Homo-oligomer: A and B are copies of this chain.
Amino acid sequence: MMKIALDAMGGDFAPRENIEGALLAARLHGIPIVLVGDEKIIRQHLSRSRFSSDLIEIVHAAESIDMHERATAAIRSRRQTSMRVALELLKEKKVSAVISPGHTGAFMATSLLILGRFPGIERPAIAGYLPTLRGACVILDLGANVECRISHLLEFAIMGEVYARLIEKKDQPTIGLLSNGEEPSKGTALLREAHEQFKSRFPTYLGFVESKDIFKGKVDVVVCDGFIGNIFLKTTEGVIGAVYSLAKQDIQKNLFSKLIFGLFYLLFKNTIKNLGRRFDYAEYGAAPLLGLDGLVFVCHGRSSGKAIKNAILTARKSVEEHLLENLKVEVMKHSQTKSEAT
């Protein structure tokens, strides 16, 4: 029986929203969940919840990692964190996947410690799912690897392609390298060399892609180092936030504009909500940590119960589609040729 472990103590709204998400997934989709964290606190929240489900199990973990801690210190000093206990359940095959909305750096580091990488992978990556004007797009790395060699970018491309194919159901996903222009003369020296290698290795490689074209849905898999990926992600988040704040300032200027906006909102509620949701990455659900020897998903720190539920659904799909096994096979296929490219 497939069970999914959820770090109940990680994230800005833990454990409330985490538990809410677990209950939603259990009740609406019949998915068995293992909540990992302080048993007493979890039981209190469960008893107060509007929902209940006998698909929910609790595994106690005495400690947790704060969102603002230094990852390395937290991992070294504490061995009973909810993250670590959840990952040990996965290692022991008691669950099929682990989800945490907690400290991303600590989660990646603990996952590496407990699960390790699978053969052929030097650098696991955080892959994100980005809504575009033409369906979804997978982008990686979003921040696990600040400085990358070409061989790392190749690994990201292989894994991103498998993820887009199995989970996003893209037929022959196209691949692009994020750069400052489309022409092969653009980019850093490393990117230009990567471009040549991508061309010879991936039949669906389209070349350099500009960040503005990602939103148009020009490409299915975007590859970049974790520094660029992080800048890209946080810029997106920042622009959306600023647009909302500016609109709000203007709307709240006087009672008349508030009234008119209220009317407009009633009529266009879904448009406005969809817009927000399509670009709010707290709502996307889960970002897989690819390259680890286990299915591990990180959620945004501000994840709502609904976002947690979405993450659980993505995790279930990944288990059902045998994502890990497929990643391993594909990386193995490429590893012969890849070893030349360092």
Residue positions of A touching B, CB distance < 8 A: 70, 132-133, 143, 146-147, 178, 180-181, 183, 185-189, 210-216, 226-228, 230-232, 234-243, 245-247, 250-251, 257, 260-261, 264, 267-268, 270-271, 274-275, 278-279
Contact = CB atoms under 8 A, between A and B. Distances in A.
Contact of A215 (B213, B227, B242, B250): B242
Contact of A210 (B132, B214, B234, B246): B234
Contacts of A185: 70
Contact of A267 (B143, B188, B210, B260): B260
A67 to B, nearest CB: 12
17 contacts: A133-B245, A146-B180, A146-B187, A147-B189, A180-B234, A187-B227, A210-B234, A212-B237, A212-B238, A216-B238, A216-B241, A216-B242, A227-B228, A232-B235, A235-B236, A235-B239, A236-B239
Contact of A234 (B211, B250, B251, B271): B211
Contacts of A186: 146
B264 A260 contact: yes
Given A143-B180, A274-B246, A215 B230 contact: no
B188 A211 contact: no
A268 B275 contact: no
A235 B247 contact: no
Given A185-B70, A274-B250, A279 B242 contact: yes
Given A211-B231, A213-B238, 6 more contacts: A180-B231, A211-B234, A211-B235, A214-B238, A228-B231, A250-B274
